[in-house]
């Protein structure tokens, strides 16, 4: 998949998953995407979780760390499946944290509870 199409698809996946891509897309590099994480998710811990799964994101620079941001850079070779895995990993982690921060609905069937709280 060409880089521009991959970046567009990834941005759409982030938006659908409720994640904010920082910056004005009309002037931002399409191949560098900065993602603002919710306050209840530590960017460093999430980046290490992703790295354990072979998915590398930038997170360690002071300006990213101070803002709780991570960056995805499509500068080298990658596969569509690895980018999809990254999108799934990020959005599922965000959704999982939102579930943990809110009380479960009373009608939640106990048989599906483990699926709702599956880790990345």
List the one residue out of 88, 97, 116 whose CA is nearest residue 37: 97
Distances (CA, A) of 72 to 23, 47, 55, 99: 13, 11, 10, 25
Q: What is the mean pLDDT of the chain?
A: 81
Confidence of residue 47 (pLDDT cuts 50, 70, 90): very high
The model's pTM: 0.75
pLDDT at residue 50 is higher than 80:
yes
Angle CA(112)–CA(118)–CA(61) in degrees, nearest 5?
Answer: 155
Considering only the top CATH level, what class is 3-116? alpha beta
Q: What is the pLDDT of residues 82-100, one digit of tens each?
A: 899 999 989 988 887 765 5
Predicted confidence at residue 75, as pLDDT, reads 80
């Amino acid at each position: 998949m060409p880089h521009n199409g991959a970046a567009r698809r990834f941005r759409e996946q982030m938006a659908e998953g409720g994640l904010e891509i920082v910056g004005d897309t009309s002037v931002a590099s399409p191949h560098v995407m900065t993602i603002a994480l919710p306050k209840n998710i530590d960017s460093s811990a999430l980046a290490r979780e992703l790295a354990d799964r072979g998915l590398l994101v930038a997170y360690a620079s002071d300006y990213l760390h101070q803002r709780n941001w991570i960056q995805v850079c499509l500068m080298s070779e990658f596969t569509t499946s690895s980018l999809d895995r990254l999108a799934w990993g990020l959005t599922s982690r965000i959704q999982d944290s939102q579930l943990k921060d809110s009380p479960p609905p009373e009608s939640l069937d106990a048989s599906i509870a483990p699926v709702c709280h599956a880790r990345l």
